[in-house]
Amino acid sequence: GGRGNASGGDRGRASGGDHVVVLQHGWGASASDLRVVRAQLVAFFPDALIVAPRVNERDSGLGVAVLGARLAEALKEALLRVCPDLLQTDAAGRARLSFVAHSAGGLVVRAALASPLLAPTLPRLHAFVTLASPHLGLGHGISTHVAGGLWALQRFVVEAPLLDELALEDPDGAVAALAEAAPGLARFRHVVLVAATQDAYAPPHTALAFAHPGADDAYRSMATNLLGPVLAGDGEFSRLVVDVAFPRTDANTMIGRAGHVAFLESSDVAELVVAGLYEVFQ
């Protein structure tokens, strides 16, 4: 594994030039689900400190604001152990903080960054990379299979406010509000949104945060609010689309789940993404 782990596997404090990379899983997942991504990060960047908080493994369907607050608290505790310079506003070191998140984990990270607990880290934000994260929710342009499955989960299987938020059916409009939340993504030097062509769970238009044909004004507004400051800022923004070749067709490929989890289950896909981001993480 990497040099640091928020679950207690820290291997000493970082020096001023260290790079901390935080991994965040999505709904119904765990930190260990990102082990393939972690392995590739360690292989390409052996000096990075990899932090994988486990705080949201239980009750991962809570609202995005709650999950973000829990992540912020856990991450502050982890940084105090592995790289306290990131929490010192007057520190003279060159420590950097990056995030790699899968699925709803991308929204959780964005919510965490709005916490005052992480305010000292804002000047040190380096890279924000999301893998198949539904940044604009799942209320528009998704397949009937996914829409039907989401509806069934919401009503008959689990009580998960996060699913209502992603479906854009919550009364507070959490996803739209998050798109407007400060500090936003403009504080990062690099913002990279990654999607898979075959992903029906977080289709490219929401994973890459662009308005699909037929999107209404509210949906377009979310995309503008999220990316407008990024595009107007000094950092670099890019979108990466992965076309996954599956050896056979099965139920997972037919409903679009295979494309969503390919980032977690395929070493080839994870290697392709991390290698493609080599200069970003340098």
pLDDT digits (tens, 9 = 90+) for 133-169: 999 998 776 666 655 565 455 555 566 888 889 888 8
**pTM for the full model?**
0.89
92: its two tokens: 């003279």
**CA nearest to 201, candidates 249, 155, 154, 147:** 147
Q: pLDDT tens across 28-37, in order? A: 899 999 999 9
Per-residue pLDDT of 203-244, as tens digits, reads 899 999 998 777 888 889 999 999 999 999 999 999 999 988
Residue 138 tokens, joined: 């799942």
| pLDDT of 147 | 56
Q: What is the pLDDT of residue 183?
A: 79
Omega cis (within 30) before 84: no
Kindly report the backbone phi and psi dihedral angles of residue 227, in degrees, each rounded to the nearest multiple of 5, phi listed first: -100, -15
User: What are the residues facing 22 on neighbouring strands?
Assistant: 51, 99
